[in-house]
A and B are shown apart, each in its own frame.
Chain A
């Protein structure tokens, strides 16, 4: 049985159809990428899985358990962690505190423990801090851990967000454009990090525009266009799929084939800074009509 299974997912906001029949599944410790032009419905699909949106119809199950209708926190409780496209760190709090958020679900500590500073309180606080350091080491954070998260450079903030999600000890991790805005060297580190997360036994669903990264790391790739799924398969098959080349790339197969890193890096930096993410609108001209979705 697959870990996550999405079956004929549909989502519309009033008259606007954001997702129009998406189906895919993710096995244990598998990496699946969801790609598609901006506005194709990728992040909406993430929001449906994590409970932030309620799908109009369709089934989403985690180990056979239905997810729609549950609160995001309840879904997190079932072992799902996520990062956000536009970085949602707790900016005023210390980097360590941010990662401590990941321990919220497994830390055993009552209000009475906290008021009386019982041994259990001290033990759990120590464990929580150690775990936060552990995951910050794991993602290779170099910045100041005791300072405010918002003071970190952009790339370090991305790492912190991933450390926070990992501190949850998830079975399924959803990464929404983890390489957006990163430079070439940082992207290579991100690739390595994603592999090391997989090695922990965590399944990963990845939304990413950097084709080099996607093709390198994914076991399967799901392609969305206009909210509709147009391909689902191994990376080498998807990149040769004529429908994908036509719809996603506007008939320019060179990007999928070669994926010149410098070129994509430039694009992603614009996408990272601009929350609307219009970075590759030029590339996806033919598909960009519904970029507001």
Chain B
């Protein structure tokens, strides 16, 4: 590679063997392998349902990671895009009797528009104000769905067709889609745009001085997050075949954010691990009945106290 021709003055220390093994590519393949083999361990409908939900949560976390982890925009209403995606595909599939796959282009268009509509006025705000406004938008979307006739009001939409027949096939389809989404998000993170997101996160003024149109770049992060969330919504609608406003509460937004923070903001393997923990841990604790969420909360607090940087934080050192 011609880069080696460059004379290096610096004291570059090469990456250790361990960090090479943990490189995203190998970690990603290992994670994919685990996901593909999981049904061979336990393929009861309950287990498959939990695993499918976990995969969808991974996709949501990957999308929110673009917004919060890469770009540093605190979004407390991320589930709004999840709802927009789920409702768009659900409504189109049931009212127009379209196959679910045919609704995907419409979902992408609608979520992009939703991302711009919500993002354009709010992204001029900084940190705390943005968090509050996004929190409001999350609630607005849910309450709107609750009150419109086309969305079925409080009882929502049911009878949404499946994407493929059988829970095993759907699980594998979900794994493939989510893997592509995670890979895509990671690749965006390592691009010119992804660097611009991090520049904005680190220092907006310095980024602007280097020619980064910070507003546009933030909007791009928001729209990318919206599309990821919307597509996860399609999977969600297909998975449950019924959606209602109760699925898109602030708690869902908070849990996805929790997955990102718990795993390690800005770290692709981190948010995957975080999302799996957030969605599987309550199931493991199910035997505790009423104490389940109490212990869940205690464990989350313990995680964050012991590893405030996240379970699998983003690398602080660049691997050449």
Do A and B actually bind?
Answer: yes
B193 at the interface (CB under 8 A from A): yes
A-B contact pairs, 20 of them (CB 8 A): A77-B211, A84-B209, A92-B198, A92-B202, A96-B318, A97-B198, A100-B195, A101-B210, A101-B212, A105-B211, A109-B191, A111-B191, A115-B184, A142-B11, A143-B10, A144-B13, A145-B8, A146-B13, A146-B319, A148-B316
Q: Which of B2, B206, B207 contacts A84 (CB 8 A)?
A: B206
- Contact across chains for A89 and B206 when beta carbons are under 8 A apart: yes
A2 at the interface (CB under 8 A from B): no
Measured between beta carbons, the chain B residues less than 8 angstroms from A165 are 210
Give the contact stretch, choosing among A9-17, A130-138, A243-251.
A130-138
Given A97-B318, A128-B192, A146-B13, 14 extra CB contacts under 8 A: A72-B209, A73-B212, A76-B210, A90-B202, A94-B317, A104-B199, A114-B192, A115-B184, A124-B192, A136-B10, A137-B9, A145-B318, A148-B317, A165-B210
**Complex interface bits, A107-142 against B, C-beta within 8 A gives 1, otherwise 0:** 101010111010001001010111001101100111
**Complex interface bits, B184-199 against A, C-beta within 8 A gives 1, otherwise 0:** 1001101111111011
- Contact across chains for B202 and A133 when beta carbons are under 8 A apart: no
Q: How many residues of B contact A (CB 8 A)?
A: 40
Q: Find the A residue at minimum CB distance from B9.
A: A142
Interface residues of A in 60-91 (CB under 8 A from B): 71-74, 76-77, 81-82, 84, 88-91
B20 at the interface (CB under 8 A from A): no
Q: Report Cα–Cα, A91/B202, bound state, in Å.
A: 7
A52 at the interface (CB under 8 A from B): yes
Given contacts A104-B196, A146-B12, contact A137 B6 (CB under 8 A): yes
Measured between beta carbons, the chain B residues less than 8 angstroms from A178 are none
- Contact across chains for B13 and A82 when beta carbons are under 8 A apart: no
Given contacts A91-B202, A107-B192, contact A101 B207 (CB under 8 A): yes
- Contact across chains for A88 and B203 when beta carbons are under 8 A apart: yes
Q: Which of B3, B191, B205, B211 contacts A129 (CB 8 A)?
A: B3
Measured between beta carbons, the chain B residues less than 8 angstroms from A209 are none
Q: Find the A residue at minimum CB distance from B196.
A: A104
Measured between beta carbons, the chain A residues less than 8 angstroms from B192 are 103-104, 107, 109, 114, 124, 128
B33 at the interface (CB under 8 A from A): no
- Contact across chains for A147 and B317 when beta carbons are under 8 A apart: yes
Closest 9 A-B residue pairs measured CB to CB? Answer: A114-B191, A90-B202, A76-B211, A88-B206, A105-B211, A94-B318, A72-B208, A146-B318, A133-B6
Q: Report Cα–Cα, A88/B206, bound state, in Å.
A: 6
Measured between beta carbons, the chain B residues less than 8 angstroms from A141 are 9-10
Measured between beta carbons, the chain B residues less than 8 angstroms from A124 are 192
Given contacts A50-B209, A111-B193, A115-B188, contact A126 B6 (CB under 8 A): no
- Contact across chains for A114 and B211 when beta carbons are under 8 A apart: no
B1 at the interface (CB under 8 A from A): yes
B7 at the interface (CB under 8 A from A): yes
Q: Report Cα–Cα, A171/B257, bound state, in Å.
A: 43
Q: Which of A73, A93, A97 contacts B214 (CB 8 A)?
A: A73
Number of A-B contacts (CB under 8 A): 140
B213 at the interface (CB under 8 A from A): yes
Measured between beta carbons, the chain B residues less than 8 angstroms from A74 are 213
B320 at the interface (CB under 8 A from A): yes
Given contacts A104-B192, A114-B187, A117-B187, contact A92 B9 (CB under 8 A): no
Q: Report Cα–Cα, A130/B316, bound state, in Å.
A: 21
CB distance from B258 to the nearest CB of A (A): 22
Measured between beta carbons, the chain A residues less than 8 angstroms from B210 are 73, 76, 81, 101-102, 104-105, 164-165, 168
Measured between beta carbons, the chain B residues less than 8 angstroms from A92 are 198, 202, 316
Measured between beta carbons, the chain B residues less than 8 angstroms from A144 are 10-13
Given contacts A76-B209, A101-B195, contact A93 B6 (CB under 8 A): no
Q: Which among B194, B202, B203 has the highest number of chain A CB atoms within 10 Å?
A: B202
- Contact across chains for A126 and B190 when beta carbons are under 8 A apart: no
Interface residues of B in 1-43 (CB under 8 A from A): 1-3, 6-13
Q: Find the B residue at minimum CB distance from A92.
A: B202
Given contacts A109-B191, A111-B191, A114-B193, contact A73 B2 (CB under 8 A): no
Measured between beta carbons, the chain A residues less than 8 angstroms from B199 are 90, 93, 101, 104
Q: Report Cα–Cα, A208/B208, bound state, in Å.
A: 23
Measured between beta carbons, the chain B residues less than 8 angstroms from A121 are 191
Given contacts A121-B191, A144-B12, contact A130 B2 (CB under 8 A): yes
